Every structure is written in C-alpha cells, then in structure tokens.
Structure 1
C-alpha cells in the first residue's frame, strides 16, 4: 500500500511538473510603429498629400476629387459614390467672407461642437482651432474633424478637414493635427503667404 501511494505521488508530481513546464517560450512582438504623416505630392483637394491621407485613413480605393468655389472660398470632396472619403473647406477673409463671420464659424459653430465631443485645441502655431471625433448625425459620415482659423499674410484664413475613418492603431487627433499643419503650409505655398504671419 505504501509503495502504491508513493508511486501515485511521484506520478502526480511528474504530471504537474510537465504541465507547468512550457514547451515553447512565448515571445512577445512589439506593435508596429505607425508610419509618420509626411508632406509629399501628389495632393488631393489642393491641400492634402494623397499618401498622408491614405496612411491616416487606411483607404486604398481610387480618389476622384470635386472642387467647388474659388481660391478665396471653396470646398473639395473626394467621393466614393455618395459617401465622401475626404472633405476640405477653405476660406479667406475678404469680400463675401468678413472676419466676423469667420469668428462666428470658429467660436459659435465648430468650437462648441468639437468641445461637446472632447475635442482637443490645436497647438498655438496653427492658430485658433480644434480636432475632434464627432460621432453624431449629421457628421457620422465624416466624424474625424479638424478646423483652424489662422493668419496667412495680411488676412485671416480658415481650413476644415473631414475624414470618414482612421486606420487601426493610429492616433486620430495627433494625425489630424499633423494633417492641418501640412494643409496650412501647402495653402501658404499655393497662395503666396506665410501661415502664422
């Protein structure tokens, strides 16, 4: 009886030891570092680098842009059927767009809306603006939004950028801020002014 008890105890010990010894080591692999948002041509909607847009959104489908308006005030959409993949709106202080109206758009329209959804203020060098994920109707088709009111030359300017999605693993707010930084720089190149001055 003693012998069989000892044998049973040793067998149990061997099973427990085997069960607790890993057969293969578990190796954790770090998550891939997201690609940076880079300013390079070609551009979509005049102001947005196509590759940066694709990096941020993860969208690979062809983009066909539709631009309306003038260099002073206009908008552009890169649609897919009836669902826009990218929306960009720009305005310049002047005829048809008084400074007071631009202030109204930023302070009475965009800022309260973005704040309601936990929006983040843009860095001061990008002017007065915010980035936010606005998930309610009528903004659900393009919930990722960034808007800025900034000086470029002697005039105030305004840019809005709307995205339908952000690729998994990316920091949406950080990416939208970088996209605004590029858009303002590109705006200055196109319209011969220096953003922030």
Structure 2
C-alpha cells in the first residue's frame, strides 16, 4: 500500500508458471471514496454465494469461498479510518486442505486494515 494512492489502489502478487502465463494468487484493492457503493456492488455480485458476515471489529462486509473461480477466497470490508470510510477487498487462491479459509480471510483483513492505518496515519475501526 502506498500513501500517495489517496483515492485507492491495487496490490497484486503473481507467479509465473510459463514464460507467457502469469497466475494471480493475491489481490488487495482499497478505495477511499465510494466504499459503500463498492460494498453494495460486491453484495449484489456475490448474493448467490454462501457468505460469512465479517466480525464486528472489521466493519461491515463479508467473506465467501467460491470453488469455481481461480481465486476462490474473497473478502470485502467497509470500515472507518479517521474521517474516511474506506473499503478493502482481498482475493486469494485456495488455501491448504485442513485450513479454515474464512478465518484466514478474517485474520488477513485484520492485518491489511492495521497496515492501512499505519500508512495513512489513522486508526481502523468498525464502520
């Protein structure tokens, strides 16, 4: 995350399997403005999936595991950070069998929000 990205940004981690094929394993997207709109769009897009509501400390949002798409784990949360109501969304590849993907997403979101607050000089809290 870059402090100069005042409106939003994307961080992507990829691996290269072949010279011309890159596979995205992790996406983190953040938006300062329009977080409510972004969350609503995600809620509509994933309304047919079984979603898991975010824990209260992460703000308003949900996590899903979709066993169809390449990045099967998706989470979004709308939270407060100072005067702003940013949203963070995280997509990542399947987790190792035996792990709880939903709890992993919740833990990852806590880390992402904490780091967001450090970079943007604000304290993340529930929306």
Distance 2:67 2:115 in 1: 28
Structure 1: unaligned runs, 5 residues or longer: 1-45, 47-66, 94-100
Is 1:182 aligned with 2:111?
A: yes
Give the aligned partner of residue 92 of structure 1. 32
1:121 to 34, 42, 53: 53
Q: Does 1:134 align with 2:69?
A: no
Measured in 1, the distance between the counterparts of 2:96 and 2:67 equals 16
Q: Deviations over 1:63-84 (max 9, x none)?
A: xxxx8x8243110111113211
Kindly provide the CA deviation profile for residues 115-162 of structure 1, in whole angstroms up to 9, marking residues without a partner as x: 4210101012111110001234xxx12120010111100011110111
Shift of the 120–114 alpha-carbon distance from structure 1 to 2, 3 Å rule, reads farther
Q: TM-score, normalised by structure 2?
A: 0.85
Higher relative contact order (CA 8 A, sep 6+): 2
Give the count of matched residue pairs: 120
Q: Once the 2 structures are TM-superposed, how far is the Cα of residue 112 of structure 1 from its aligned partner?
A: 3.0
What RMSD in Å do the two structures reach over aligned CA positions?
A: 1.9
1:27-51 residue CA offsets vs partner (Å, 9 max, x unmatched)? xxxxxxxxxxxxxxxxxxx4xxxxx
- Contact 2:14-2:25 within 8 A present in 1 as well: yes
Q: Which runs of 5+ in 2 are unaligned?
A: 17-21
Residue matched to 1:73: 8
Task: Confirm whether residue 172 of structure 1 aligns to residue 101 of structure 2.
Answer: yes
In structure 2, what is the Cα distance between the partners aligned to 1:88 and 1:162?
Answer: 7
1:74, 1:187 → 2: CA distance? Answer: 11
Q: Which has the greater radius of gyration?
A: 1
